[in-house]
């Protein structure tokens, strides 16, 4: 993972997990765990790839990638 230290990555994951704990409303389980979601968003921010290409790498639709990027 170039550009983001492990400590920064872990802090980002902790923030997303804390936010998810606050909401606690019943939703469908995501296909990706939170760590993978954060990694996918970092990939989007770092490489400026399209939702289509990121989705094909992660096995998700473009809309699922868009929702994840917006949420994170």
At residue 1 the predicted structure's pLDDT band, cuts being 50, 70 and 90, is very low
Residues 39 and 1 sit within 8 Å (Cβ to Cβ): yes
pLDDT (mean) for 9-33: 84
At residue 69 the predicted structure's pLDDT band, cuts being 50, 70 and 90, is very high
37-68 CB burial, b ≥16 within 10 A, e <16: bbbbbbbbeeeebebeebbeebebeeebbeeb
């Amino acid at each position: 993972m170039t550009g983001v230290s492990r400590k920064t990555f872990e802090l980002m994951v902790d923030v997303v997990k804390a936010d998810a704990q606050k909401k606690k409303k019943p939703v469908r389980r995501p296909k990706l765990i939170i760590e993978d979601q954060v990694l996918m968003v970092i990939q989007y921010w770092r490489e400026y790839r399209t939702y289509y290409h990121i989705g094909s790498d992660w096995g998700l639709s473009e809309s699922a990638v868009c929702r994840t990027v917006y949420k994170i």
